[in-house]
Amino acid sequence: MKWCDNNDSVLEWGSEEIVIPYLSPVDKRIHRYFVDFYVKIRDKNGNTQKYLIEIKPRKFTQPPATPARVTPRYIEEVMTWGVNQSKWKNATEFCDDRGWKFQILTEIELGIDK
């Protein structure tokens, strides 16, 4: 994360340092979610804000489209979507409890056009 290293507004940052438990809708067991990034930022007014940031391709941030025929690939996409929803719900609650913010960034927010 060169952006974090080179940005004077970033006070702290780390990769996969925060672990959040979540219940998987697939196997009904508790798993550990390692959020991609933790970042503490000072804004232009001198206020600080902590963020947990997940980086995902945009297609994984939306429910899969229902195909004409249910395939193993579609079933896998539905399971992945369910797991991600559980992870993000728990990450949002974790952040809300601490006054932090949870954000999901895709290639669109990162300015990576393919």
Assigned token pair, 29: 């067991």
What is the average pLDDT value for the chain, to the nearest integer? 94
Distance between CA atoms of residues 75 and 57, nearest Å: 19
d(CA 39, CA 25): 29
Sorted by where each begins, the domain ranges of the chain are 2-105
pLDDT digits (tens, 9 = 90+) for 38-90: 999 999 999 999 999 999 999 899 999 999 999 999 999 999 999 999 999 99
pLDDT tops 70 at residue 114: no
pLDDT of 91 over the 80 cut:
yes
